Chain A
Amino acid sequence: DAKTTQPPSMDCAEGRAANLPCNHSTISGNEYVYWYRQIHSQGPQYIIHGLKNNETNEMASLIITEDRKSSTLILPHATLRDTAVYYCIVRVATGNTGKLIFGQGTTLQVKP
């Protein structure tokens, strides 16, 4: 699986958009970009994933650059409950392999 690079920490004001970047310059053509988050002392929670098109769901939007070497997770209106560690992971989606390679992630602190 390809490696990802994320900033160790970010701050965001409550109610503002949080934009979390991720670099994955060695991503392969069949690898998807996944985002998970982990709120303190809980299990990681799936947020969103995509291959090359931008994706949006009820939690967030995922913007993937045209060359697929980087992506941005956008939380449109951050709340205090969005304070968590956010992990960007690239992997193939087929085969339902349960193996995820987690990096150190980005600790997002949402401030009032």
Chain B
Amino acid sequence: KAGVTQTPRYLIKTRGQQVTLSCSPISGHRSVSWYQQTPGQGLQFLFEYFSETQRNKGNFPGRFSGRQFSNSRSEMNVSTLELGDSALYLCASSSPDRNTGELFFGEGSRLTVL
């Protein structure tokens, strides 16, 4: 069974640009969550999507947005990039059937903003 797949793994952008990151969850998982990890702030929850609806949101500015498609794949977008957006962005999926609360994380997309 394939794990959570995130693309791209690495990318470099400049300030003011926007970026879109993609996440393919484990087959059958309908919940997809996004996290940002930086050395200073650690792992922080961005938002969660379930059946194409956002059902949880962290404390991030509106420049951070996301969406989920009917096949449960998800994308997150960051507009007007700032230097502080440089981070590892992690995606996690979970299964509604098992109801254990266990999340499965991908390897992340490492974004560098210059």
Q: Which residues of A contact B (CB under 8 A)?
A: 32, 34, 38, 41-46, 49, 87, 91-94, 96-105
- B101 A103 Cβ-Cβ under 8 A: no
Main secondary structure of the interface of B (DSSP, over half): strand
The count of chain B contact residues (Cβ–Cβ below 8 Å) is: 31
- 9 A-B pairs (CB sep. < 8 Å): A38-B43, A43-B108, A49-B101, A96-B95, A96-B99, A98-B103, A99-B58, A100-B43, A102-B43
By secondary structure, the A interface counts as: loop
Taking the complex as formed, is B100 at the interface, i.e. its CB lies under 8 A from any CB of chain A? yes
Specify which of A45, A91, A99, A104 is in contact with B105 (CB 8 Å cutoff).
A45
Which of B4, B103, B107 interacts with A100 by CB under 8 Å? B103
Give the number of residue pairs across the A-B interface with Cβ within 8 Å. Answer: 75
B contact residues vs A (CB 8 Å cutoff): 4, 31-33, 35, 42-45, 48, 50, 55-56, 58, 88, 90, 92-96, 99-108
Contact of A97 with B48 at beta-carbon distance under 8 Å, contacts A42-B107, A43-B107, A102-B43 already known: yes
Which chain A residues border B88 with CB–CB below 8 Å?
41
- Least CB distance from A94 to B in Å reads 6
Contacts of A97 in B (CB 8 A): 31, 48, 55-56, 101
Q: Please, how many angstroms separate the alpha-carbon atoms of A99 and B42 in the complex?
A: 15
A46:B102 contact, CB within 8 angstroms? yes
